[in-house]
Amino acid sequence: MNRKHVFGAFVACLMLLSGAWAMGWFGGDDAEVAALIAEMQNQDDMTDEQRQAFRERMRSLDDGQRQMLFGSMMQARQAEMQSRVYALSAMPPAQRRAELDKWINDMESRRKQWEAGRGGRGAGLGGGGGGPPGGEMTSAERAQRGKSRLDRSTPEMRATMTQMMKMVNERREERGMEPIGRWR
């Protein structure tokens, strides 16, 4: 091989390595993403101002950072939900009912708070929301959001959520409540 070929191969390798570095393949997590992930662990202790600042920081992320953050969030949520389903399944029936009742009461409380915050315009569980400020989501926006959520999920996560919703809905029906929409 002559010098020209060696130099060309070197430049090609350098470009490939630079591209991989730019895409975050080397050097571990992005510092801002790592900081947001650490802050998420303490979300329950945040004030409203801290939550707003956290959301603003999330909005300022670029697409690659956002994918890293949401990928990490999804993995953590999947592990948490899986352990909840396992724990519920292992509980004696009376304890399982009590735990499900607590979840259902919390869900109902959050739904009522959400509807109150919207001026009573709530569409009930499984309804719209999260759309443009001051307006409802269109059917197309809801469909796109559902598709996007499915695209980001794994078969294991969907199975876990389906099992969890089945348990919650069975208990809601036992309590004379309407079941909530299935996870999308």
Residue 146, H or E segment: helix 139-152
Which pLDDT score, from 0 to 100, does residue 183 have? 45
- Whether 130 has a pLDDT exceeding 50, the answer reads no
**Number of CB atoms found within 10 A of residue 170's CB:** 13
pTM above 0.85, yes or no: no
Q: How many CB atoms lie within 10 A of CB 69?
A: 21
Mean pLDDT computed over 102-117: 90
- What's at 73, amino acid-wise? M
pLDDT band for position 170 (cuts 50, 70, 90): very high
Q: Is pLDDT of 173 > 60?
A: yes
Q: What tokens were used for 141?
A: 């926006």
pLDDT computed for residue 129 by the predictor: 43
Cβ neighbours of residue 153 closer than 8 Å, sequence gap 6 or more? 74
Q: Which residue has the higher pLDDT, 14 or 167?
A: 167
The confidence band for 118, taking pLDDT boundaries of 50, 70 and 90, is confident
Number of H helices, E strands in the chain: 7, 0
